[in-house]
Amino acid sequence: MTERLYYTDAYLTDFEADVVDRADEGRRVYLDHTAFYPTSGGQPHDTGRLGGAAVLDVIDEDGRIAHVLAEPLAAARVRGQIDWARRRDHMQQHTGQHLLSAVLADAYGLATVSVHFGRDASTLDLAAAALPHDQVVEAERLANREVTANRPVTVTFEDAAEAAGLRKPSDRPGILRIVTIAGLDRSACGGTHVRATGEIGPITIRKVERVKQLVRLEFLCGDRAIRRARADADLLAALASAQSASPDDLPGLLDAQRAELKTGAAARRDLEEALAGYRARELYEAQPADARGRRVAVVREAAGPIDRLRPLAQAYAALSNGIFVGLVENPPAIVLAASADTGLDAGRRLKEVLASHGGRGGGNQRLAQGTVRDAAALSPVVEAILTG
């Protein structure tokens, strides 16, 4: 068993310990006690140095803690040094999560189902169908009020049978490690935490999304929240500068530009349809009628996408006895359109032919499209369509 120094002192970053076991040619080391926190309870592991070697991972192995090192370690007694910036960040996120979960439970009766602490952001999943925006804003405000109250955060060890007032009951027997935020929360937890809520720093809720039957909140605490706020401010300033406006003017400018783009897109579609009509008429008149009076046009292009030929195909099929076949070699695809008086069901015919040539596709009676495995199959497909 490894004695876990972080259980009683999360601020301990420098310690000495005896090596009691080794594995992986000295790259996996076990100590009699350690301040390195292993990945557990959703909280990532510590990093730092052990005997001069970089600690890459810390793993809880049923009571023993393994320190995975970048290089072999031969010494019998070693000095451990915790990466304090990483440890402090984890302490801010973890205590901030306890506080935020307590606020959400007290204000809205929402239980935290699971938690994940990521490298850049953390999330907690709530047993809820939805969380309206005004409740998110209010929860964030209440959480930050509790931060500034600077409530003491303490750690005690209590018998599970006697531990009362836990936010989430524990089914573990024996002694529990209880993290208490005075007057706000009591939770069984093995993680590292700050001494008072003021050390958490600001808490911000960045995103809310529905995940299966739960609501997931993405949140940031402390230095992460400050860095993100600075990045957001810089981004807004850059966007505003590009528009020669103030950040407050951006919503109005974006609405105006969106409306302008919508109008422009509609005008472009009208022009494309008109152009397709002119091209279709010109192409139609250049095709001689076959024995059945049909005018068949085949247009082949080297590169796609095939959707670029759809307006032309539709315009051609609007003409009397018109059949249009559009081909694209890369990626190999085909579009087929036929006017009603040709008697050709474009969707059914194309689907049948493609199925016999290793392709797939379909559509309605007037317009269909599909793909084949390679460009070499396009010509046989066209021939089969027109001779069928």
Hey, what are 209's tokens?
A: 């999304």
Give the H/E segment covering residue 361: strand 360-363
Task: Report the alpha-carbon distance of residue 337 to residue 310 in Å, rounded.
Answer: 9
For residue 312, name the pLDDT band (cuts at 50, 70, 90): very high
Domains located in the chain, CATH noted? 3-82 (2.40.30.130), 88-234 (3.30.980.10), 276-387 (3.10.310.40)
- pLDDT above 90: percentage of residues in the chain: 86
Residue 179: is its pLDDT beyond 90?
yes
Q: Tens digit of pLDDT for each residue in 68-114?
A: 999 999 999 999 999 999 999 999 999 999 999 999 999 999 999 99
Region 144-173: mean pLDDT is 92
Handedness of CA 133, 138, 140, 141 (dihedral sign): positive
pLDDT given at position 41? 85
In this predicted structure, what is the pLDDT of residue 163? 87
pLDDT at 264 over 90: yes
Residues 186, 188, 192, 198, Cα dihedral to 10°: -10
pLDDT band (50, 70, 90) for residue 297: very high
* Backbone phi and psi for residue 10, each to the nearest 5 degrees, phi listed first: -75, -10
Task: Tally helices (H) and strands (E) across the chain.
Answer: 7, 20
Residue 388 pLDDT exceeds 80: no
pLDDT tens digits along 329-357: 999 999 999 999 999 999 999 999 999 88
Using CA atoms, how far residue 52 sits from 13, 25, 72, 77, 288, in Å, is: 14, 16, 10, 12, 86
Quick check: 291 pLDDT over 90? no
Give the per-residue pLDDT at 51: 94
Q: How confident is the model at residue 62 (pLDDT cuts 50, 70, 90)?
A: confident
The phi and psi torsions of 139 (rounded to 5 degrees) equal -60, -40
Distance, CA of 357 to CA of 47 (rounded, Å): 59
Q: What average pLDDT is seen over the chain?
A: 94
The reported pLDDT for the residue numbered 36 is 98
Distance of CA 306 to the CA centre of its chain: 31
User: What is residue 335's predicted lDDT score, i.e. its pLDDT?
Assistant: 96
Please determine, for residue 262, whether its predicted confidence score (pLDDT) is greater than 90. yes
| Nearest of 377, 335, 336, 332 to residue 358 by alpha carbon | 377
Confidence bin at 169 (pLDDT 50/70/90): confident
pLDDT at 204 over 80: yes
Q: What is the pLDDT of residues 354-381, one digit of tens each?
A: 998 889 999 999 999 999 999 898 999 9
> What confidence score (pLDDT) does residue 386 get?
86
The pLDDT assigned to 175 comes to 93
Confidence of residue 25 (pLDDT cuts 50, 70, 90): very high
